[in-house]
Amino acid sequence: MQYKDNTLRRVLVTSVLGWLTACGPRAHIPPRPASVSGALAPTDSGARLARALAPLLYLQRDEWFPLQRVVAVLHPTRPVIAYHLLWQDDVNGSWIPFTVPTDEEVVWVGFDSSRAPTDIWTYWHGTLLHTDWHQRGQVAIDVQWGKHGSLPHGLIESDLPSIKKLNDFYALTWLSLPDIWLGNLTRRGPWCFCHGYARYRDFSRQLPLAERLDLVVRAEDAREALGMVFGRPYSRKTPWPETPPTPR
């Protein structure tokens, strides 16, 4: 009887793991399209501006998932550029059937009549963070390990929203270990963030975006272009910040 119970248990476990593996999401990022409607030529003034204002990313030094695609979207009537970043995956929830298999994040750069950056907005786990960037030069962004939340470089951590502090997410890396392990059933990923909090805050890998732009378009609604470059489905984050750039 004990033998049959053990056999049944193994069969059930194997079946559940097999089902998760089969139903878990797979990233299918399409080849870079030869042409996209509305794409700006590299010599277009808008494309040159998008490259000039493209942020410098500071990745956490142990980041596992690569940045796969970058699309710059110029707003047609506002002095704002959205930089949509497609990461290969997110460290959490990757095994859940039918979830989006990639991770889209967005950074917005506002600029003035001299085409200098004036404001940045970053997407931080459902919250749009705004930072005045007048006279601070090159836009720089810190990228959170595994989840790719974006922070203005040098942000004071106490300014982050309640329950969305960086140390809260560090604690989550330990609390969510079973979730991280399950993610490895469907794709290769990290088994943990196996270091201390100081290293979690070590944003030391530089990744300039200026030469990484896969596409530059001018549109208020760029979903069609993003779908062609990112593949479908993708996360479809907030397209634009509501607050206009700060006048000076």
Whether 4 shows a pLDDT value over 80: the answer reads no
Residue 17 dihedral angles phi and psi, to the nearest 5°: -65, -40
| pLDDT score of 38 | 86
Whether 9 shows a pLDDT value over 70: the answer reads no
Q: Give the mean pLDDT of the chain.
A: 89
Whether 7 shows a pLDDT value over 60: the answer reads no
Residues in Cβ contact with 218 at an 8 Å cutoff, skipping those fewer than 6 apart: 38, 40, 46, 73, 74, 75, 76
Please state, for a pLDDT cut of 70, what percent of the chain lies above it. Answer: 88
Show me where the domains of the chain are located. 29-230
Q: What is the pLDDT of residues 91-144, one digit of tens each?
A: 999 888 878 889 999 999 999 999 999 999 999 999 999 999 998 999 999 999
| pLDDT score of 242 | 87
| pLDDT score of 247 | 65
Q: What is the pLDDT of residues 132-176, one digit of tens each?
A: 999 899 999 999 999 999 999 989 899 999 999 999 999 999 999
Q: Report the relative pairing of strands 215-218 and 203-208 from DSSP bridges.
A: unpaired
| pLDDT score of 3 | 52
Q: What is the pLDDT of residues 18-35, one digit of tens each?
A: 444 444 556 678 888 878
Residues in Cβ contact with 77 at an 8 Å cutoff, skipping those fewer than 6 apart: 220
Which residue is listed with tokens 């963030």? 193
- Kindly report the CA angle at 190 between 186 and 196, in degrees rounded to 5? 155
pLDDT-based confidence at residue 219 (cuts at 50, 70, 90) = very high
pLDDT-based confidence at residue 17 (cuts at 50, 70, 90) = very low
The 3-state secondary structure of the chain reads CHHHHHHHHHHHHHHHHHHHHHHCCCCCCCCCCCCCCCECCCCCHHHHHHHHHCCEEEEECCCCCCEEEEEEEECCCCCEEEEEEEECCCCCCCCCCCCCCCEEEEEEEEECCCCCEEEEEEEECCEEEEEECCCCCCCEEEECCCCCCEEECCCCHHHCCCCCCHHHHHHHHHHCHHHHHHHCCCCCCCCCCCCCHHHHCCEEEEEECCCCCCEEEECCCCHHHHHHHHCCCCCCCCCCCCCCCCCC
| pLDDT score of 13 | 38
Whether 186 shows a pLDDT value over 90: the answer reads no
pTM score, two decimals?
A: 0.88
| pLDDT score of 27 | 62
